[in-house]
Amino acid sequence: MITDVRPGPGSSRYLLGFDLRRRPHLEADVLVVGGGVAGLCAALAAADHGKEVLVLAKATMRDSNTAWAQGGVAVVLNQAEREPEDDIEVHVRDTLVAGAGLCDVDVVRDILGDAAESIDLLRRHGCLFDRSEKGALELTREGGHSARRILHANGDSTGAEIVRSLAAAASAHPRITVIENAFAIDLLTDGGRAAGVIYYRREELVAALAGTTILATGGCGRVWRESTNPPVATGDGLAMAYRAGATLADLEFMQFHPTTLYIAGGARLLITEAMRGEGAVLKNHVGERFMPRYHADAELAPRDVVTRAIISEIRRTGFPHVWLDATHLGAEFLRGRFPTIFQACAKLGIDIATAWMPVHPSAHYHCGGIVTDTRGATSIPRLWAAGEVACTGLHGANRLASNSILEGLVMGIRAGNDAGNAGGPPGRVRISAPTPEPAPDGLDVPDLVRSLRAMMWRQVGIERNAAELAVARRSLAFWLSHQARGGFRDRSGWELQNQLLVGSLVASAAERRTASVGTHTRADSLGAIDTTHLGYIRTDQEPP
């Protein structure tokens, strides 16, 4: 529940000028923007209501946070398949502890209660989770969990298997049309209601119109320099919803995953928490296992605790990273249980069966987003949101490991059901927007993106303080109103504007929350706990 809603940074309503009477357009009963777990579940649910569904994926369906997810799905299964000591209330308790006082208890219990049924849907669509030689589902444990309740697939490629099965089901469904490499620029509203989006594909602007719209665009990790996210995670859904007048909340809570492979010049490969769940330990540069000094659960403490401990060790020792030691688990086990990590490290010359892995935290998952109810409905009529782009109240100030795909499943299905029930032909839509002045000539967009990501990492990163947050807010405001003003003509420019807006929103939220809680660490905090839910609305004009 939002307890404090204030105006956020100003923004233009649309990023470009258009007149729908002069633009090609597609029509559907239900429009889904996003091709990850939430979007695909929503599309399948809406289509099962007999509605024509159009899915727009920014890249391919292999390029999403879901597809890149390694660890698994947290779920309390039926009594025959779960651990004897586990039940829904234990999972609820673990989620609330990780969320540091900002979870909505009723929402947590409601969403987790539908988890097992959602997993059954995945299995019906052909998703194959790992099983033992005897045929039993293999469950693992991750940080913050009191029991082994994490389902996984192909060792450490759970997200890819989920997307494979759902994408195959969507592609085979006669009422679902999927368009890949379609970049949604702005949410269209007509009379205050969502009417679709305008998107860019093959150097052409197209309007996608629908009776109901579902945003499932994923996260914004690429706003930070160090990130586990794919290049598509630039916060587009957050930005377009904000420009359209939707209420956003808890934007300061970017979760920094404790363990990503840290090699200069290399991609920040996620080292799944499941590896620590199987027994890998963190060590500092002198070989000391340090996590027992920070938390009773050691390596299996909640992610925000482990991340802060790693940063503390880096600061204390002056060494640029820490080490993850899995050598005692043996080559055969590591190769079979974590094939993706084993092979990726081998390509970099690291045999994880004999050598420690250099690791450092990176931006991973955004706990805030577009405010929705427990059915995915937003503050804009006929607009739903599901997955990482949404803020339901499940995660609070820090997401419990492997609750993300779970939420995408449950909320994607719910949003698809309700948007499917309400969806239908879009009717006559006549929207236009004035053409803004052209963007500045000669602007080096890639350089400005690098500057933005570096500043967000330094000033709005793992540890924050008032002085640096003020610098970030002023810098972002200047870049938005000067270098990135006006109308761009390609995806890179629109992504830049989205990233700057999202960065500005996060910095403003982090500046307002003066106390540390969950993933939001204020180095200048006086130690008070602040469990206010901070919401944001646009400032420049009334919601359309």
pLDDT tens per residue across span 143-200:
899 999 999 999 989 999 999 999 999 999 999 999 999 999 999 999 999 999 999 9
Task: For the chain, count helices (H), then strands (E).
Answer: 15, 23
So what's the pLDDT on residue 540?
A: 37
* Summary mean pLDDT of the chain: 93
Q: How far apart are CA 98 and CA 90, in angstroms?
A: 12
Q: What is the CATH number of domain 1-253+367-530?
A: 3.50.50.60
| pLDDT above 90 (res 485) | no
Q: Tell me, yes or no, if the pTM score tops 0.85.
A: yes
| pLDDT above 70 (res 459) | yes
pLDDT band at 127 (very low <50, low <70, confident <90, very high): very high
- Mark whether 303 is an active-site residue: yes
- Domain range annotation of the chain: 1-253+367-530, 258-362
CB 360 within 8 A of CB 260: yes
pLDDT band at 9 (very low <50, low <70, confident <90, very high): confident
CB 335 within 8 A of CB 275: no
CA of 96: how far to CAs of 103, 104, 108, 112, 188, in Å?
Answer: 6, 8, 8, 12, 36
| pLDDT above 60 (res 74) | yes
Mind listing the pLDDT tens digit for each residue in 80-94? 899 999 999 999 999
Grouping H, G, I as helix, E, B as strand and the rest as coil, residue 332 is helix
pLDDT band at 267 (very low <50, low <70, confident <90, very high): confident
Annotated catalytic residue: which of 149, 164, 303, 308?
303
| pLDDT above 90 (res 42) | yes
Largest Cα–Cα distance of the chain, in whole Å? 68
Residue 216 CA to its chain's centroid (Å): 10
So what's the pLDDT on residue 3?
A: 63
CB 245 within 8 A of CB 538: yes
DSSP element (H, E) containing 92: helix 88-98
Q: What is the CATH number of domain 258-362?
A: 3.90.700.10
pLDDT band at 542 (very low <50, low <70, confident <90, very high): very low
Q: How far apart are CA 321 and CA 311, in angstroms?
A: 8
- Rounded to 10°, the helix 37-47/158-172 angle is 30
So what's the pLDDT on residue 535?
A: 66
